[in-house]
């Protein structure tokens, strides 16, 4: 949930909507560029039954409304942390297939070693820093990438995992 939505109990704007995509869902996503909403099954199954019934009804309504569209068979979802390319460790760069080019596409001659190699590198090193590449595409140092990590929310274990929600008093009754 967006921070603004979490911190505010005020309703979404109820004025006229100029574009049908500019409604409460657009506002909930805020200024993010996220294209999907991923929810932990463990957390949803841990919510009160009346909440689960409301969510289920909304999801079923969404499914019926767009049944006429072709949908992907599955999605690949994994927990991750977000980093700027410039802040990645060498191990993270390797994991993501990101390479650094400090020499503007040039490669030192194979016969250079020791001091001669260091001299060549100093003469050819890009003063603006490295250029990063991934899958044949150039990345800016400020580009943000996802590094896979462990998920801190436990697996639902066929419905056996329960995490007590901390609900405001009005929601828990």
Q: Is the pLDDT of residue 6 over 90?
A: no
Quick one: 71 and 85 in the same domain?
no
Express each pLDDT in 66-102 by its tens digit: 999 999 999 999 999 999 999 999 999 999 999 988 8
Same domain (yes/no): 70, 24: yes
pTM for the whole structure = 0.66
8 plus 57 within the same structural domain: yes
Of 105, 125, 109, 129, nearest to 117 (Cα)? 109
Contact yes or no for 24/12 (Cβ under 8 A): yes
Residues spanned by the domain of 161: 3-76+151-172
């Amino acid at each position: 949930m967006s921070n603004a939505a979490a911190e505010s109990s005020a309703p979404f704007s109820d004025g006229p909507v100029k574009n049908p995509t500019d409604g409460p869902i657009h506002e909930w996503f805020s200024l993010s560029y996220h294209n999907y909403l991923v929810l932990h099954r463990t957390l949803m199954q841990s919510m009160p039954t009346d909440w689960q019934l409301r969510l289920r009804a909304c999801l079923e309504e969404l499914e019926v409304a767009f049944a006429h569209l072709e949908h992907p068979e599955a999605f690949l979802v994994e927990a991750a942390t977000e980093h700027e390319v410039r802040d990645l460790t060498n191990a993270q760069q390797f994991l993501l297939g990101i390479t650094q080019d400090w020499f503007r596409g040039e490669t030192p001659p194979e016969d250079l070693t020791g001091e001669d190699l260091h001299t060549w590198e100093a003469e050819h090193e890009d003063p603006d820093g490295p250029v990063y590449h991934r899958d044949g595409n150039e990345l800016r140092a400020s580009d943000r990438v996802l590094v896979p990590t462990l998920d801190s929310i436990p697996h639902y274990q066929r419905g056996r995992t329960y995490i007590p929600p901390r609900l405001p008093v009005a929601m828990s009754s």
